[in-house]
Chain A
Amino acid sequence: MQHWIVMPVIIPAIAAPLIAMGMRQDIVLARVFSVATTVALVLLSVLLVFKASDGHTHTYALGNWPAPFGITLVLDRLSALMLLLTSVLALFVLLHAIAGWDRRGRHFHALFLFLLMGLNGAFLTGDFFNLFVFFEVLLIASYGLMVHAGGAMRLKAGVQYVVINLAGSTLFLFAVGLIYSVTGTLNMADLAQQVPHIPPADQAILHIGALLLLLVFAVKAALVPVHFWLPGTYSLAPAPVAALFAIMTKVGAYAIIRLYTLAFGEGAGDSAWLAAAWLMPAALITLVVGMIGVLAARSLGQMVSFAVIGSMGTLLIPVALFTAPAMSAALYYMVHSTLAAAALFLIVDMVAQRRKEVADHLSLTAPFAQMGLIAGLFFLGAIAMTGMPPLSGFIGKLLILDSARDSTLMAWIWGLILFTSLLAIIGFARAGSLVFWKTHEAGQPLRRRARRLPVGNALPFVATGGLLACMVILTAFAGPVALYLDQTAAQLFEPTRYIHAVLGG
């Protein structure tokens, strides 16, 4: 039973090379195998969520080396939640991809599964250097996926994406080096034990290392001032890849939550709540920049990308408060915004495929095939993304506003979140009316015969519908979900239990 914890890393690690080497000629076989692997990951992560919800922190010592000498995998409520979110998202994105995107380049499925392996590893690991390695695994896979299907613009965006992430990796190593040089450990639990006992002379080095790490995670999470890579990357990446990347920004958020509650939390002495002073202003500015970008975007893809930046701001505002209710609200919004962003990227792709050379540009065209249905999906996606009732975005924002009530920055937080929601509503409404509503002004609809599409094209609708259905479930069962998240947040703010579970004693 204890070996289940390592399985989310092992399964894709075995399946991906099999697909790359054994099934490279047979796309049907690769699709079946890839979907089967992802379904297995969904079932496994459901199992792990049940396992984690008993409230204990489960550990797995790789190679049976005891912590802090070996690498430890840690399963608690937060990591189980992230595993489930990743695998569910991956399943729907994969359904969209096998409708055609996976044939436009090579090795899509292998890279896809390697990316899942890196993500699962990053969510499970309890060791800094191992976190770096899993970051690299997921980044290398994402480089391949980013330039999947080629094209001059996409390759340029790919180069930019690779360069910014290589610079980020170098910073990560500098930060790890600084922290190791004063604490002598790379194990997160051991680090949490060492931090309060660092002599004052060495504290400056520790703080520089910890804040450099914050910068690295901010690059991943696309926080201002290191957000500029995201719009180009996400709007030029192949649609299913952009949708899957919706979870990649959350890896940064996860790492921030994990590190700064565990090692720099209440018990850290002089280093307590180190990140809060930097994170809060960055998150507030990110929110504003993202939502202004939604108004300024010239294509649907860019607009959704900026909405992703804005949602990262919304997500990290409650994280920066570092209280249990705020963390619970942040986690709810994290699940919601991942699903909403992915659904919107898939919808934008359906629009772009049907409008041919205009693609997803915000310009007037004649009506296109299945426009009514796609407009309906876009409407739902936009409602979710902007945080309007009745979908989960509304509940998420409400929880965040409620948790910020006692903060000294309450006026700023409430004002900015509410104002930027209005900006997002204006941006999405304007884009929707231009792309769907006014089309009759531009020309006659296609004749009925030309509107019929082959059966294979039903899959993108299934994928988007599935993601929207997940949000409906998240809304309808907001009570039980919030209960689980409250317990998750409580677990995060009791780091001693994590430390004892990893180090024993």
Chain B
Amino acid sequence: MEFLVASTVGLLTAAGVYLLLRARTFPVVLGLALLTYAVNVFLFAMGRLAINMPPVITATSPGYSDPLPQALVLTAIVISFGMTALLVVLALRAYLESDSDHVDIATDGDLKGGPH
């Protein structure tokens, strides 16, 4: 199971980094989404993989599954979900206003001070 989880995280991360480097907004959004999936699975695994274990320690239980990473993952999911939504809206606005979906700005290096 460790091998499966580890290779899943690795694959998601590799695909995410590749898409992130495409420098167009749609692949970048997808890349960031994949990266956040990867990090969520990774955070789960950091409390060690345990099956059929209770999250609360009792006198009779043989062990426990670490509840802290699960709480962290929940926070991370909420934040990354919200951020992805924001990024989609922002990328759409930027595309509609500038007619280009490149993530990098001002290829001719000519940055004006913006509208004042």
Hey, which bits of chain A sit against chain B, CB under 8 A?
A: 129, 133, 136, 140, 143, 147, 149-160, 162-163, 166-167, 169-170, 173-174, 176-178, 180-181, 186, 231-232, 235-236, 298-302, 349, 352-353, 356, 359-361
Task: Indicate whether B76 reaches chain A with its CB closer than 8 angstroms.
Answer: yes
A-contact 0/1 string along B74-92, CB 8 Å cutoff: 0110011011001100110
A153-B105, A170-B39 known; A299 vs B46 contact (CB < 8 Å):
no
Contact between A173 and B76, CB atoms less than 8 A apart: yes
A-contact 0/1 string along B19-35, CB 8 Å cutoff: 01000010010001001
21 pairs across A/B with beta carbons < 8 Å?
A133-B75, A133-B79, A150-B115, A151-B97, A155-B98, A156-B94, A156-B98, A158-B90, A163-B32, A166-B83, A167-B20, A169-B80, A170-B36, A176-B72, A178-B46, A180-B47, A301-B113, A352-B116, A356-B116, A360-B113, A361-B112
Tell me, in angstroms, the Cα distance from A129 to B21 when the chains sit together: 27
Interface of A is mostly: helix
Task: Indicate whether B14 reaches chain A with its CB closer than 8 angstroms.
Answer: no
Query: Smallest Cβ distance from A49 to chain B, in angstroms?
Result: 32
Query: Smallest Cβ distance from A397 to chain B, in angstroms?
Result: 29
Query: Smallest Cβ distance from B48 to chain A, in angstroms?
Result: 8
Query: Which residues of the partner chain B approach A147 to less than 8 Å between Cβ atoms?
Result: 90, 93
Query: Which residues of the partner chain A approach B39 to less than 8 Å between Cβ atoms?
Result: 170, 173-174, 177
Query: Which residues of the partner chain B approach A163 to less than 8 Å between Cβ atoms?
Result: 20, 28, 32, 87, 103
Task: Indicate whether B104 reaches chain A with its CB closer than 8 angstroms.
Answer: yes
Tell me, in angstroms, the Cα distance from A301 to B32 when the chains sit together: 30
Query: Which residues of the partner chain A approach B42 to less than 8 Å between Cβ atoms?
Result: 173-174, 177
A152-B98, A160-B103, A162-B86 known; A359 vs B116 contact (CB < 8 Å):
yes
Number of residues from B at the complex interface, CB < 8 A: 45
Task: Indicate whether B106 reaches chain A with its CB closer than 8 angstroms.
Answer: yes
Query: Which residues of the partner chain A approach B80 to less than 8 Å between Cβ atoms?
Result: 166, 169-170
Contact between A159 and B32, CB atoms less than 8 A apart: no
Contact between A152 and B94, CB atoms less than 8 A apart: yes
Contact between A153 and B91, CB atoms less than 8 A apart: no
Contact between A298 and B32, CB atoms less than 8 A apart: no
Query: Which residues of the partner chain A approach B25 to less than 8 Å between Cβ atoms?
Result: 159
Query: Which residues of the partner chain A approach B91 to less than 8 Å between Cβ atoms?
Result: 159
Contact between B114 and A153, CB atoms less than 8 A apart: yes
Partner of A152, one of B47, B79, B97: B97
Most chain-A Cβ atoms within 10 A of its Cβ — which of B72, B79, B100? B79
Task: Indicate whether B110 reaches chain A with its CB closer than 8 angstroms.
Answer: yes
Tell me, in angstroms, the Cα distance from A136 to B79 when the chains sit together: 8
Query: Smallest Cβ distance from B18 to chain A, in angstroms?
Result: 13
Contact between B111 and A236, CB atoms less than 8 A apart: yes
Contact between B113 and A235, CB atoms less than 8 A apart: yes
Query: Smallest Cβ distance from A64 to chain B, in angstroms?
Result: 19
Query: Which residues of the partner chain A approach B62 to less than 8 Å between Cβ atoms?
Result: none
A170-B36, A173-B76 known; A159 vs B111 contact (CB < 8 Å):
no
